[in-house]
Amino acid sequence: MDYRGFEAEFLRLAFTTSFELSPSAAAFLLGLSVPRAREYMQRMVDEGTLELDSNDVGHLRYLMPERPDEPLFEESTPVACDCTQPLALAAGPEWPADDWDCTALVPRLRNLPQATEPVSAGRAMAALFINALVCPGMGSMVGGRNAVGVAQMSMFMVGLPLAVVNVGLPLLAASWVWGIFSGAKLVGEASS
């Protein structure tokens, strides 16, 4: 992240959350190293956006004179769980606050890639038989596991011409075993 990107995100956080204006907090929330956040915050001091002050025991702290006492919100006040409110607000309007997982040590979005849809028992059996008897990978794709199926079929297709010189036999065997295990896994998922 360059300085201008840091400045924009830092100002958005400063005005929409109540996070502490410190290099370590900025580094955590913006995904930077602490020295880089400190460097950028010092540049903001040099430009007059931030002020550097010290408390009674001599610890340095950053102040922003224009920062409101209460966080401002753009169009509507997002409602986030208490454990992640500053981070949920920092994520921006494209991720609603309800999508945050409060049980995580570092809050993260809940709507990560979803698990694949369950397969019917008949389709799972067909996938197993196609993987075992026709072509490894094809059955996995029939069962809805396209990425695994492409990998199995690729391994099979690479091993097929190399089998002439016996180099591809282990690849063929591995792709078939993998295909059978994938088909059996599909059957197990369908029966449960």
Q: Is the dihedral of CA 106, 108, 112, 114 positive or negative?
A: positive
pLDDT at 28: 83
The Cα 54–Cα 37 span in angstroms is 19
- Each as own residue / partner, the long-range contacts of residues 144-153 (CB below 8 Å, 24 or more positions apart, any chain) are 144/116, 144/117, 144/119, 145/116, 145/182, 145/186, 148/182, 149/182, 152/178, 152/179, 152/182
User: 81, exposed or middle or buried, with CB in 10 Å at 0-12, 13-18, 19+?
Assistant: middle
Name residues of the chain where pLDDT drops below 70: 72-117
pLDDT at 90: 45
pLDDT at 116: 58
Give the residue range(s) of CATH 1.10.10.10 domains in the chain: 3-109
Tell me the β-bridge partners of 52. 62
Record the pTM. 0.42
171's tokens:
């690849």
pLDDT at 139: 92
> What does the DSSP assignment read for 7-19?
HHHHHHHHHHS--
How far, rounded to the nearest angstrom, does the alpha carbon of residue 106 sit from its chain's CA centroid?
A: 12
* 46-69 residue pLDDT tens: 988 888 888 788 778 888 888 877
Q: Does domain 3-109 have CATH number 1.10.10.10?
A: yes
pLDDT at 73: 62
Phi–psi pair at 163, nearest 5 degrees = -65, -20
